[in-house]
Amino acid sequence: MPQTKPRARNQQEPVIVWLRDNLRLADNRALSAAARTGQPVLPVYVYDDASPGLRPLGGASRWWLHHSLAALAGDLDAAGARLNILRGAAGTIVPQLAQRRGATAVFWSRRYGGPERAVDTQIKTSLGELGIGAHSCNDLLLVEPWEVMTRGGEPFKVFTPFWRALRERGEPAPPLPKPRTLTAAAMSPPDALGGVTLDSLDLLPMRPDWAGGLRETWTPGEQGARARLTQFARSGLDGYMANRDRPDLTGTSRLSPHLHFGEIGIREAWHRVARASADHKVPHADAQKLLSELAWREFSNHLLFHTPDLATRNFQPRFDAFPWQPDRRQVRAWQRGRTGYPIVDAGMRELWHTGWMHNRVRMITASFLIKHLLTDWRTGEAWFWDALVDADAANNAASWQWVAGSGADAAPYFRVFNPVLQGRKFDPEGDYVRRWVPEIAGLPTAHIHAPWDAPASVLAAAKLELGRGYPKPIIDLDEGRARALAAFDTVKGR
């Protein structure tokens, strides 16, 4: 395409805000920069199911996206603007839309996966050739992946020094307020470039509608995100260090899906927690622990930037030769929460019902699949990708590789979580298991995490018949552990 000279700015010409993983009005640098131009603002979301290399959203993420976009549309309406939804390859649609609408600039938030960056580079090039301004900004992370490096100029591969380097940079920039006013730029429907309605994207499950548990658990959107952060800062942050590993307690923030979809910014979450500590409203250790969890999210995204195939390739190449021995029936039992190990089954059922799983239980269920069932971590990563409302390309892959021992700063492969001991330690009264595995709820606490050890009289009193009402264990823990360690011996010297 031939080069064209930039057009003279006309105050009636619009600027486009291309919204992606920043589905909010507050602390949205792209939106704020567009509003500061004083020109009409055209907010656009492109549902890109056509660009090569982009990973299709899982079912739970599609459900969340529908409701997040609906909430965003309402917030924009209240601000005097309108959300315009298009469908197709963003690399083609965004430049064509900008040219057709006579836009002087396009603003967007940067993404860090390889295929996403390829799309963004294509768009930036096309807009430049059209003489249209292209402005990308960081709305996803505290710092850019190229800004935090080792002294040797290499990406960090271990979290602790990364966390130390991140803290040495000082506090992140404060969050921005919502733009005071937005001058709307109308978009005439139907648009030949792919303008569609939200319902036409078919993001919601219909036949069957399996999202009842998601609806009763979550409130997607910026208001829901802010309410959750406020509630946690007031009543959950104090005691976070002690309670975060307890799935039977409400001890975690549950902000992950809101952060993933950008309904609340990482800077706002960071400053809210840091301020609670500075004001002595919560213990410093509790606040620092949560900040370190936000930093793990940051670390994972930096890993993804430097390793775009993080979800498909072992970070440590020696695991390429690992002798996986998956059993399809066992994997299916794991997916359905029918392994016979209560803490594992509780986690998998919580995931299916709510689209979320407690972080400690994520580690337990992942360890069980990878090590006791000797199943490739990518099988579990793909299941979580489809089932999680917070299925994040960076966090999901990095965390599965961490458990597998194949990732950056990974847990040693020979660390095999025993689900019985983990259940007794982190769900001591069995409340979590009883909630999600009701068929064994009548068992006394002494046997709730190992029903097969219960005397026949105890099973009868609980009206439980193992193998019928609840499955017997699908694998012996000692045998599974021994098999896993033997398999690891074949690659540990590579």
* DSSP string for residues in 302-345: HHHHH-TTTTTS-SSGGGGG------HHHHHHHHHT-SS-HHHH
H helix runs in 236-391, sequence order? 240-243, 256-260, 266-278, 284-306, 328-336, 342-354, 359-367, 377-387
- Give the active site residues: 293, 296, 324, 359, 377, 400
- In this structure, the strands spanning 133-137 and 41-47 are unpaired
Nearest to 50 by CA among 111, 108, 91: 91
Beta bridge partners of 133: 105
Cα Rg of the chain, angstroms: 24
Q: How far apart are CA 23 and CA 4, in angstroms?
A: 33
What is the number of other CB atoms lying within 10 angstroms of the CB of residue 202? 10
Q: In what order do the strands lie in the sheet with 84-87?
A: 133-137, 105-109, 15-19, 41-47, 84-87, 195-196
